[in-house]
Structures are given as structure tokens and as C-alpha cells.
Amino acid sequence: MRSLEEVQATLEIAKLKEEDLLPTVQCLSFGDNVSSADYCLMELDETLCKHIEAGESLVIRGDKEERAVLCSSNKTYDLKIADTSNLLLFVPGGRTPDQLTDNQDSFHVVHTQVWGFCNSYWELRKQRPKLKKLKKLLMENPYEGPALGGQEENTENRYTMEDLLERIQASEEELKTHMETIHACQIEGYWRVLDFDYEMKLLGYVSQLVDSESWSFNKVSLQTSLEELGPLEPREMIEHCLNCYGKRYTENGEVFYALHEDKVCWGLALMLLQNVVKFNLKEFQYVWQQSVPEGMSTRLDQLKGVALVDRTSHPETISLLRVEDLPEDTVERFNHLFSLREKWTEDDITPYIQDLCGEKQTTGALLTKYARSSVQNGIKVFNSRRPVAT
């Protein structure tokens, strides 16, 4: 423990004047058995600091083979170790100058103990949640409808929300939002995605009912739908289908759904493209329009990010290419896209890279970094910056 006299002698050697310093001198000493392995330090931004101060928690997520991420209730952060040449001391009793409320005019010494030290700290960077694994897990056992008489339902590979939060590198809010995107639902306490053919079967029933009842697709009665289709499929599945493809509202105490034109057209297009490599574009557009409820209009821009039109082939074709099936890593994504097509227009490639954009980042910035532009027949196109193996 240093005495006041020793402190004053040190100041004299350093040629520092007492009147230029605060009157409180904090002397640091290391406690017994202090080790650099006792603590890890993490640098938090203002948002995360407020999150912790409000009593919320931060969770590190990832399987053993994955790079760990940190999740708050609504954001995901990459964890990276940052080394520093300065020794970082963990001093719980230490006070910064703005925390000192000394009323004393004379010099005095306060002894503070160092609890730990580090030469590195965890640095956080906000990143996109890693959600591709969610669909992969849920597709291990998709829901195909109620088990037929005498058959037992497969109870393996089913996941609760807690199970998924343990496995998926995303915040709870991001996970739940993506659940809605992939049309997942909770069945007997487990989160499931519907088998694609079963989902299309449900949508087909709803579409046929709308046509047979001569309803406006903006006013589909929940009660009548459940009464008419209930004998064919479980009522909760009919309602789930309406929630996926429509917007719920109440009028005079009765629940209705306004079917979302783009979503219904999108779903029925997927059904047509699901089992073909390529589809003649004109033939596809005719069949597609005939398959949707009366009053709805199909448009190719409804299929951005799920289908790709080839204007260079004769005749022109359309094929299934879903952004959710592409690699999550940015470099791998671009390599995969350029292996499918050597040159892309900006309109064609944008739906397949939009989800890669970070905060305040544009698709134009991504293309500048990962692609090379040129002009072909008066149209700006993009190709790979490096040779791509096909």
C-alpha cells in the first residue's frame, strides 16, 4: 500500500504539480491469484449498454462447428477478438474523474484492487442473422397433414422454440419474423413447416372456394371457410393458410381475410415451377394466370427472388431459383450466381443479393466490390471479378 508521501515523491520525480491534478489519488494493487484468464472484456455500444442496464440479457449462440455470435432480443452481432498493446485492467472499485465528488482540498490516497487483466477484448459488429439453418432443421420433418387411419405420425426431429434458439444464430425477434416468412406454425407445441405439396393443397382449396362462392378475394369469410373446408382438412390448418396468404380483419363482428394478390400468385407460381427444370415463358404465363382466383392478375415482378427469366433463350424460359436456397456467405453467393449465369443485368441480380446488404449498404456497393461491370448491346451487365468454376 503506497503512502501519501510515496505518491508525492513519485509526482516530484515525474515533475508533476499537485495543483494540476485532482485531489484524489487512486493507487492500484493486484489481488491474490489474479490471472488474465479470470475475465473476458467486451466492448458494447450505447444500445447494448442500455439493453444490459434495463436488466435484459445477451446470449452467445452457435453449435460447436460454428463461429459464435452474440444475440440481444432483436439483433445479432459477430464476435471478434481484438488485441491491444495496452494492458486492460479490470478495476470494479475504480472511478473515472467525472465520478469523483471530492470536496477535499488536500491530497489524499484511495486504494483500489485490480481483479483481473487482459491484452484483448471482444469486439461486436452487427451482422445478418444466420437463418438458412432454420429451414433445413424444420424440413427434416415437414408437416404433411393429419395421419391417415392406422398410421402413426413421425415424432422425430421436431423442435420447440427453445430448441431452435439453441441451434439458430439469430435473436428471438429475428427468428420469429423468419418463421412467418417461411410459413412455419406451431403444432402440438412444436414448430413445423408445411410440406410444400400440402401447403399448395390448402391454398388450392381456398382458391376454389373463393371461385365457387363468387367471393371477392378481398372478403373471404373465416367462418364459412372453416365450415366448408373443415371436413377436408383440420380447421387450424385452413386458418393458418389464410394467415399466410391474407390479411385478417373484422367487420360487424365477423372475421374476414383479404387475400394478398402477390402472395397467392407467388405460391401458385411455385407450384407450377416446382417440378420442371425450365418452363416456356409464354406457356407459363398463360397457365399461371388461369390458376389464380378470378380477379387476380399475375405479373413477373411478383416472382423476384424465386424465379429467373432467361430472355436470351429461344423461346424465352423461366425457371425456379429461390434466394433462400443460395449460400449465406457473400463471396459464395456471388460465385454461385456467376456459375449459373455468366452475365447479369442489375434488375435480375438485385433480388438475389439484396439480403446480403448490411446497414446503410446498397446493392450497388456490393456489385462494385464483388462484380465487374460492362455494357452489352447498350445494357449494363455484371460478371465475376475472378474465373468461376462451372
Mean pLDDT estimate for the chain: 89
pLDDT band at 154 (very low <50, low <70, confident <90, very high): confident
- Range of weakest confidence among 29-33, 43-47, 174-178, 221-225: 29-33
pLDDT, tens only, 99-148: 776 566 677 788 888 888 888 889 999 989 999 999 999 999 999 998 77
Q: Which three cell numbers stand for residue 134?
A: 432454420
Q: State percent of the chain over pLDDT 70.
A: 97
Question: Is residue 389 pLDDT above 70, yes or no?
Answer: no
Please state the rounded mean pLDDT for residues 352-374. Answer: 90
The torsion angles phi and psi of 15, rounded to 5 degrees, stand at 60, 45
Q: Cα angle at 334 between 328 and 340, to 5 degrees? A: 110
Contact at 8 Å (CB) between 258 and 266?
no
Contact at 8 Å (CB) between 116 and 90?
yes
**Which residue's entry shows cell 468461376?**
388
Q: Between the CA of residue 332 and those of 77, 336, 338, 388, 389, what are the distances in Å?
A: 21, 6, 10, 11, 12
Question: Is residue 149 pLDDT above 70, yes or no?
Answer: no
The whole-number pLDDT of residue 185 equals: 95
- Range of weakest confidence among 94-98, 137-141, 211-215, 354-358: 94-98
The whole-number pLDDT of residue 144 equals: 92
pLDDT, tens only, 33-73: 777 667 788 899 898 999 999 999 999 998 888 888 999 99
pLDDT, tens only, 26-43: 888 887 777 766 778 889
The whole-number pLDDT of residue 104 equals: 60
Q: Is 117 helix (H, G, I), strand (E, B) or coil?
A: strand
The whole-number pLDDT of residue 105 equals: 63
CA distance 110 to 7: 11
Q: Cα angle at 59 between 55 and 62, to 5 degrees? A: 175
Of 333, 325, 327, 322, which Cα lies nearest the Cα of 366?
A: 333
The whole-number pLDDT of residue 336 equals: 95
Question: Is residue 351 pLDDT above 80, yes or no?
Answer: yes
